[in-house]
Chains A and B, each alone.
Chain A
């Protein structure tokens, strides 16, 4: 058909162009008919909708789930919080009108005669209102009811100024378990860019740290939506007819494993000025009953208005004692003499040690290894393994360590939760420990040029040189005592929906083998028993009447000339373990003397005993 000057081809082509234009006209007619129906037939209803009323899409923020303790006491709840905001569309159109709203706002004083709004933040908000048309811009955060009523009184002079109700977090016990609970704050710019926060939008309050962060998705629920009609000054009048709103689904409540009573006792036992941590765990299933990290912070400051929040934040962030760190899971310490349980366990398990094994060199206050003289903290004479643990004799363990070798000691430690793998607790920030062997020691100290030497075993076999967290320490003694495996430590007992139905229960999960020969177990338990209950035991200050506890003390050296870190790890009752507690007080002295009594208080409270001493 494309032969040039072919008349037929040109005719067909022109005919096709005509068809094309006919199709155009047909389509345009359809569009015009629809427009006519909208603009003529349905003119009245559309006009009414647009002139008298304005449509708004309002997000209905779902109520954030609460946190309960194991007995149903509320640890975290919500409180209403009033926000005063400007709604750009309802501000006067003219600049002079907006300026007068601005001036009126500046004039408003609260009952103390102080200005409620400062010109700087108002200026920023009005500047932003030029670009942000479709949502309110906050000018006063977390206003008090009085402030709200003052603004409402002046509402006739303040077109475009609206009051919104938000829900904010409240922590009724203040600093109690603050590191476990975490806090909420507005999502940060950096977080918004991360893929895991894809479902969040600017202005959302999200959990930061602790359970608030880990279970944020569960706490959040699903926001609802409604379309409302508002009047000329921005106030809601009614829902739009014929459009169903989507109700918000409240977030899930978390029933935690924390025991409020025990937590209170533990918090009281550790002074806020001290640096230290305490973990109480049920070794039979990994439930954490109490966790303290000191110094503490009050998570309520993060729900306050900006000025106070910033002041509180500056205080905790700049504090040299680092109250933001959860020492119980992120604090890394040398395990000190508590580690002797692992050395002894490895020796017994591998047949190197036994109850009747004595070493040729008795403890005379020290041990000569090559050119080095390694001290002990006393002179204990000739000891078997049980008494060596009871007296925490270093010389015995120097020799035992050399005999057993590091690989076997570390293998035993890893079985019970120590080492480079975290335990997978359900709050963020958990640090792993470190059990050095020749390879990992050389790797880590490459930069310093240090090389592994056999002499290092001396220090390592008494727990100087490893890294553990207080949580690992509690898990260690707990699982040593049960000899039934290491359970994942956790805070979540169950999740409940807003009606109280259980949605999800935490299933205890064995994460490490955590088993040894019955004979090893028996000897270790006898040793732990004697630490607490034998008159000469280093941990006798942790003993409690009526219940046999097994314990191990530790005094971690961390800096020459400073007091040692005081460790105390205890499990009770020793023959049928229900609770394991690890306490560390930084730079506080000997483990038995300082941390022993703290652990004791927690155990007394757990078993419901009156503390008659003191």
Chain B
């Protein structure tokens, strides 16, 4: 089999994608092993072994998904979406098991179901199905109505848990979904501009003032080019300017201790005794790995034992300490290849449902990767988003495998052009 054949577009099964997934899973098990290994415990009780079990279960699930017909998936969308909403309500109002102060789980005895994970997949399916049949356009505002309704319900329920970071996943999926359902790059910029506006005007420094000014100019230019309906043009301009002023005004209205709390969230290192402590430990661990790392198994007994979540949220620190820059770059390269193979699937078909599903799944992966790694290296607030394939955790491992299954299914079941 030549390498050309290996990557052959006409193949119904993407072997390269499978290899990348397996490689990432193997890395994950190695890292969980090195973060939690304990010479005294029996192997079948250990976390790395359980992680293997989760991956095996997940792979079985993914294999099953590959054989689902696209029409079945489309028909499943609505029931799954409703089931997800019911589960979210259950966890919110009734059976929430309080883990770390937030009720996010339903205990099913053998394992704990995390409805928000399930909701991610159900939402991806539903929004993709809807957008594939009803493209959106800024010139026809009512096209946004249904997607918005579909989005806001699970989003609000997850936000109420409260699980901000998972709620943001829903935003990311919707945003990218719009991009592949009719919006242009300019539209995407306009949609994102109010958020950027808040970010830039948050600080009073010269640089940020200039950035904000540039942003407003860019918005005006984009609006000029797109020639959107008058109401929408005014809306975008107004929200940008308002967001800019309102954010700095609201900021000044906050009490100093509230300002401090926001600052701590945005920049954990400003509170080295609280969240910053974890980040400080994480930075030290990653930084001390150097270019090539301390070697496998040599990092566990030092700083990381202080990280309460070394094998879940802070697994990237374990990687950075033991395998250094080379290891980090290798994993990032794996992720990049993984995303490339995933997204290239949709180029083979003209079916918009396939495009939206594949891009949505890729977005979920990308969002988790970016937010988690940025957190461990102190670029983003400390949130509870795990790293796909590397972090320990049953629910999320299953989610990842289901998403992989969906991507493979699209290629396997899609009708060739």
Contacts and interface: CB of A to CB of B under 8 A. Distances in A.
Interface of A: 1-2, 4-6, 9-10, 13-14, 16-17, 19-21, 24-25, 27-28, 30-32, 34-36, 38-40, 42-43, 45-47, 49-51, 54-57, 89, 93, 95, 130, 133-134, 225-227, 243-246
Interface in B324-355: 324-325, 328-329, 332, 335-336, 339-340, 343-344, 346-347, 350-352, 355
Contacts of B41: 130
Contact of A39 (B289, B306, B346): B289
Given A32-B329, A95-B40, A243-B272, 9 more contacts: A2-B135, A24-B366, A27-B366, A31-B373, A35-B320, A35-B329, A38-B283, A38-B286, A57-B273
Interface in B262-310: 272-273, 277, 280-281, 283-291, 301-303, 305-306, 308
Contact of B324 (A28, A39, A227): A39
B255 interface: no
Given A14-B347, A243-B272, A39 B285 contact: no
B258 to A, nearest CB: 19
B324 A13 contact: no
Among all A-B residue pairs, the 6 with the closest Cβ atoms: A46-B287, A50-B288, A38-B287, A225-B273, A39-B325, A133-B305
A1 B182 contact: yes
Contacts of A9: 350
A95 B40 CA distance: 8
A335 to B, nearest CB: 48
Contact of A47 (B288, B320, B379): B288
Nearest to B415: A4
A46 B301 contact: no
A213 B38 CA distance: 42
Contact of A10 (B308, B350, B362, B373): B350
B289 to A, nearest CB: 6
Nearest to A4: B350
A46 B351 CA distance: 51
B180 interface: yes
Contacts of B182: 1
B328 A35 contact: yes
B417 A5 contact: yes
B305 A55 contact: no
A509 to B, nearest CB: 32
Contacts of B370: 27, 31
B180 A16 contact: yes
B350 A28 contact: no
Contacts of B417: 5
Contacts of B289: 39
Contacts of B321: 50
B374 interface: yes
Interface of B: 38-41, 132, 135, 176, 179-180, 182, 185, 272-273, 277, 280-281, 283-291, 301-303, 305-306, 308, 320-321, 324-325, 328-329, 332, 335-336, 339-340, 343-344, 346-347, 350-352, 355, 359, 362, 366, 370, 373-374, 377, 379, 417
B343 A31 contact: no
29 contacts: A1-B182, A2-B135, A4-B351, A9-B350, A16-B180, A17-B359, A20-B179, A20-B362, A31-B332, A31-B379, A32-B332, A34-B377, A35-B325, A38-B286, A39-B286, A39-B291, A40-B291, A40-B325, A42-B287, A43-B288, A50-B284, A55-B281, A55-B306, A57-B277, A89-B305, A130-B38, A130-B40, A226-B273, A245-B273
B81 to A, nearest CB: 22
Contacts of B272: 227, 243-244
Contacts of A20: 176, 179, 343, 359, 362
A35 B286 CA distance: 8
Given A39-B287, A46-B288, A49-B288, A28 B332 contact: yes
Contacts of B377: 31, 34-35, 38
B256 to A, nearest CB: 16
B355 A13 contact: yes
B347 A17 contact: yes
Contacts of B286: 35, 38-39, 46
Is chain A's interface secondary structure helix, strand, loop, or mixed overall? helix
A59 to B, nearest CB: 10
A13 B340 contact: no
Contacts of A27: 366, 370
Nearest to B280: A55
B273 A246 contact: yes
Dominant secondary structure of chain B at its interface with chain A? helix
Contacts of B40: 95, 130
Given A25-B336, A95-B40, A1 B288 contact: no
B277 A24 contact: no
Given A17-B344, A39-B325, A95-B39, A28 B335 contact: yes
A118 to B, nearest CB: 22
A64 to B, nearest CB: 22
B123 to A, nearest CB: 19
A46 B325 CA distance: 14
Nearest to B286: A38
B290 A39 contact: yes
Contacts of B287: 38-39, 42-43, 45-47, 49-50
Contacts of B303: 50, 54-55
Contacts of A24: 336, 339, 366
B131 to A, nearest CB: 10
Contact of B306 (A10, A134, A225): A134
Nearest to B41: A130
Given A20-B359, A32-B329, A89-B301, A49 B284 contact: yes
Contacts of A43: 287-288, 290-291
Contacts of A45: 287
A50 B301 CA distance: 10
A36 B273 CA distance: 26
Contacts of A13: 180, 346-347, 352, 355
A24 B341 CA distance: 13
Contact of A55 (B284, B308, B335, B350): B284
A133 B304 CA distance: 10
A331 to B, nearest CB: 40
Contacts of A21: 339-340, 343
Contacts of A28: 332, 335-336
Max chain B Cβ within 10 angstroms of own Cβ: one of A1, A6, A21, A38: A38
A17 B343 CA distance: 7
A1 B135 contact: yes
Contacts of A56: 306
Nearest to A13: B355
A1 B137 CA distance: 11
Contacts of A46: 283-284, 286-288
Determine which residue in A35, A39, A95 has the highest number of CB atoms from chain B within 10 A of its CB, and name it: A39
Nearest to B343: A17
Contacts of A36: 325
B186 to A, nearest CB: 12
A21 B328 CA distance: 19
A93 B297 CA distance: 12
Given A35-B328, A95-B40, A17 B288 contact: no
Given A31-B373, A95-B39, A134-B306, A39 B343 contact: no
Contact of B352 (A2, A30, A40, A244): A2
Contacts of A31: 332, 370, 373-374, 377, 379
Which of B41, B273, B281, B347 has the most C-beta atoms of chain A within 10 angstroms of its own C-beta? B273
Nearest to B299: A50
Contacts of B359: 17, 20
A243 B276 CA distance: 10
A226 B332 CA distance: 35
Contacts of B328: 32, 35, 39
A95 B285 CA distance: 25
A40 B324 CA distance: 9
A228 B374 CA distance: 26
Contacts of A49: 284, 287-288
